[in-house]
Structure 1
Amino acid sequence: MKLWSILGNSQKLDGGAMFGNAPRAMWQAWSQPDDENRINLACRALLASPLNGKTVLFESGIGAFFEPKLRERYGIQESNHVLLDSLQAAGFSHEDIDVVVISHLHFDHAGGLLRAWSEGQAPELLFPNATFVIGKEAWARAVHPHPRDRASFIPELQPLLEASGRLELVDGAQCQALGDSVRFHYSDGHTPGLMLAEIIGSEHADQAPHGGLVFCSDLIPGRPWVHVPITMGYDRNAELLIDEKRAFLEDKLARNVHLYFTHDPDCALAQVQKDARGKYSTTHEVPELHARAL
């Protein structure tokens, strides 16, 4: 199996929103803001092939489905569908993808499932040969959103996914499409039912999987958020997220599972470490993956 980091459309969002109650004096050392207080963010997907005999895309980024006015509002930097270009550069088309795994249906993770905006044209679903794997609780949140995050969802997307006949909703550790090769973890601090996909590494004698990598999604958007107290203003329940993150990192450290970041503009993959004071950070940071073995 080989892995590729697949960049989608990038964003600039308010640094204060991205770092919650952390003061600017702290977070600007991690992410330098522009004149509008915005920081650079990636929307990075992960491509794995063959995984359980299939070509699998984890996440789809924000895509280019927004009309120009909304594209500007949400700080999207490119008008073309960058994810499709990145797939092509890796030697793939969206038609080659057998499975797409979506951690949750906020538009910056699921918008890339749609064709780029074109005036007068209705939204259209890409990936015509793929099974779409989504957590049941995340799906329910998207279908019946709370006013706090209603604007984070794409109303047209859920009906298109359902009508495709290729939607698999998951509420356990495995899914039918990927079998034992991927294990799912769940988190509720950012949004209900956030699904974190772990590509399983080797098995030790005790049958606990070691190695591998986990797609951290919005539980840990990038390296600065590995520090346990750092959360986003977008998180539904920051205190719960901190508790979930601590347990998540302790488990990944114990099993040497690498962290894969979607929103870090400069780092795709890293290992987690903990110092004598119990503070988590990253080491062995990798900016991009190109046909890399796990």
Structure 2
Amino acid sequence: MKLYPIEAGNFKLDGGAMFGVVPKSLWSRTNPADSNNMIDMATRCLLIENGDRLTLIDTGMGDKQSEKFFNYYYQWGDFDIDSSLKKHGFHRDDITDVFMTHLHFDHCGGSVQWNKDRTGYETAFKNASFWTNENHWQWATQPNQREKASFLKENILPMEESGQLKFVAGPNRLSSSEAISKKNDFAEANELDFSLLFVDGHTEKQMIPHINYKGKTIVFAADLLPTAGHLPIPYVMGYDTRPLLTMPEKEQFLKAAADHNYYLFLEHDAHNQIITVKHTEKGVRLNESFTFNELFN
């Protein structure tokens, strides 16, 4: 098995929204803002090569929305999913599985594209199965008012209409930080040592993959830990639907990460690809930061 970081594009978000009630004088120490109060963000995906299976975790924003839409997000840099796949010798048609941590637009927008004559939409990975879980699918396709702007039907419904959608079995009730067995149906289908943590603070049944790789546990942190600057427990995004639930979920997760020396793969941190954490008197804090190549090449 081999892992590859896939950079799907960089953008900016309002720093206040990303840190909720935490004052700018504190969060700007780790995530400095520009003159518009915007901070740097990445959409960093993860590719898993295992025999003849190629799994892509999350797909970034994609490019099918309007210019007006993307102007809100101040895209920067020259990363895109196709060039990043090509860098590692792959094409999107090689992807056999797309695993989506959750269905917010910046995590699944790249899963769907315009069709050839731009009269409708089609899946962007024609040979892939698209994996989510049934609870989150229902949450996303019947969105609440708070998240409606993040669950865009053109990003989501074509996966079901194509017949390529599959569900990972998960807990059927709200539960804080409930892990499921390694023998989940996605892991079995792909013969992966791949376990999942379900968390509900950010959105209903977000999935956090844990992957054993070269003697290390790589955790795709998604929006449970967007950046290294979010390590303090109260540093919770304004986007979270249940912030009082995010805090114990994050606390439990970070304690486990420090205890077991997890390597946290950060999807949204434009300047830290992978970090480890440690216990301190102030709680779990940053230990080391690595690039993917420093760890594995």
- Alpha-carbon separation, structure 2, partners of 1:55 and 1:228: 35
For normalisation by structure 1, the TM-score amounts to 0.89
Is contact 2:112-2:154 (8 Å) kept?
A: no
State the shift of 1:157 in Å.
Answer: 2.9
Is contact 1:135-1:170 (8 Å) kept?
A: yes
Give the residue type in structure 2 aligned to 1:63.
G
Structure 1 match to 2:247: 242
Structure 2 match to 1:284: 288
State the shift of 1:65 in Å.
Answer: 1.9
State the shift of 1:139 in Å.
Answer: 1.0
- Alpha-carbon separation, structure 2, partners of 1:94 and 1:37: 35
Structure 1 pair 104–278 and aligned structure 2 pair: CA distance change class (3 A): same
Structure 2 match to 1:216: 221
State the shift of 1:254 in Å.
Answer: 2.3
Cα deviation, 1:8-43, whole Å, max 9, x if unaligned, reads 121111100011111011111111111111011001
- Alpha-carbon separation, structure 1, partners of 2:81 and 2:294: 15
State the shift of 1:265 in Å.
Answer: 0.3
Indicate which of 193, 196, 204 corresponds to 2:205.
193
- Alpha-carbon separation, structure 2, partners of 1:136 and 1:257: 28
Structure 2 match to 1:83: 81
Structure 1 pair 148–128 and aligned structure 2 pair: CA distance change class (3 A): same
The yes-or-no answer on 1:156 pairing with 2:154 is yes
State the shift of 1:141 in Å.
Answer: 1.0
Structure 1 pair 70–119 and aligned structure 2 pair: CA distance change class (3 A): farther
Structure 2 match to 1:9: 9
Structure 2 match to 1:35: 35
Q: 1:114-263 alignment to 2 at 5 Å?
A: 114-115=112-113, 120-172=118-170, 173=180, 174-176=184-186, 177-179=189-191, 181-200=193-212, 211-263=216-268
Size of the aligned set, in residue pairs, is 283
Structure 2 match to 1:206: none
Structure 1 pair 38–119 and aligned structure 2 pair: CA distance change class (3 A): farther
For normalisation by structure 2, the TM-score amounts to 0.88
- Alpha-carbon separation, structure 2, partners of 1:59 and 1:40: 19
The yes-or-no answer on 1:108 pairing with 2:106 is yes
Considering only aligned residues, what root-mean-square deviation do their CA atoms show, in Å? 2.3
- Alpha-carbon separation, structure 1, partners of 2:114 and 2:294: 25
